[in-house]
Amino acid sequence: MLAFRSLAFVALFYLWSLIVVLCMVPMLVLPHRVSIAAMRIWSQGITLLLRLICNIRTELRGAANLPAGAALIAAKHLCMYDVFVQFAWTPVPCFVMKKELLKVPFFGWYAAKARMTPVDRDGHSAALKKLMRDSRARLAEGRQIFIFPEGTRGEPGVAGDYKPGIAALYRELGVPVHPLATNSGVHWPAHGFLRRPGTIVFEYLEPIPPGLKRSEFMRLLEDRIETASNKLLEL
């Protein structure tokens, strides 16, 4: 039964995504907020499919720490849903993403239209400078910038290698960083198609104020995200 429900979800997920993708084509000539609004509808549809087909509910915790305006958010990354769901409750999210993803048909077009922030991982100092310029521009627009400090999807209960990009953004932008914990990988694994019943929780934690030394900031960020994420595994 679990495999059947999971396969049904995967099939409907791609069908729903195809419908949204095709409907969004005319939006490429409209303001970027229109595309983001369409992505919000797409996100809500995925959440509904998870609940109805897989008996997976989604819960937001720490709503008091959820930024409404310009912000820098450092999130635990365990599956694709970590990206999709943020459109449901943040006004104008902006994701730091691999530059290569812009080459993906449709997805790349909409990401560019929505003014996401691509990063060339092989670009070294030039790429970092561009990341800073783009991030300042997005903050000036009142966007919520999401970055996954580990750089890629990991496994529940395992702390990844926290990359220096988040420390550079923290130092150069001079804004608080909002840590975001989750247990999403328990129910939507990074690899494989099984979707396990239960509750996916996204918990916004107390923001880290600007001005800390790099080593102290990185230690505090990892400790908050990993401690809270591991606690959510007990649910």
Cα–Cα distance measured from residue 143 to residue 165, given in angstroms and rounded to the nearest whole number: 18
pLDDT of residue 151: 87
> Averaged over 6-15, what is the pLDDT?
96
pLDDT of residue 191: 87
**Is the pLDDT confidence value at 162 over 90?**
yes
Note the pLDDT tens digit of each residue in 93-134.
999 988 888 888 888 888 888 889 888 777 667 878 888 899
* Domain ranges (residues) in the chain: 2-232
Q: Environment class of residue 117 by beta-carbon count within 10 Å: exposed (0-12), middle (13-18) or buried (19+)?
A: buried
Sign of CA dihedral 75, 40, 14, 115: negative
Would you say 97 and 111 are in contact if contact means Cβ atoms under 8 Å apart? yes
State which H helix or E strand residue 144 sits in: strand 144-147
Cα–Cα distance measured from residue 20 to residue 41, given in angstroms and rounded to the nearest whole number: 9
For residue 207, give the DSSP letter.
P
CATH code 3.40.50 for 2-232: no
Note the pLDDT tens digit of each residue in 168-194.
999 999 999 999 999 999 999 988 889
Sheet containing 144-147, strands listed edge to edge, beginning at the edge strand earlier in sequence: 56-61, 198-204, 177-182, 71-75, 144-147, 93-98, 117-119
Cα–Cα distance measured from residue 141 to residue 182, given in angstroms and rounded to the nearest whole number: 27
pLDDT of residue 130: 87
Instruction: Give buried/exposed letters for 61-83 (b at 16+ CB in 10 A, else e).
Output: bbeebbbeebbbbbbbbbbebbb
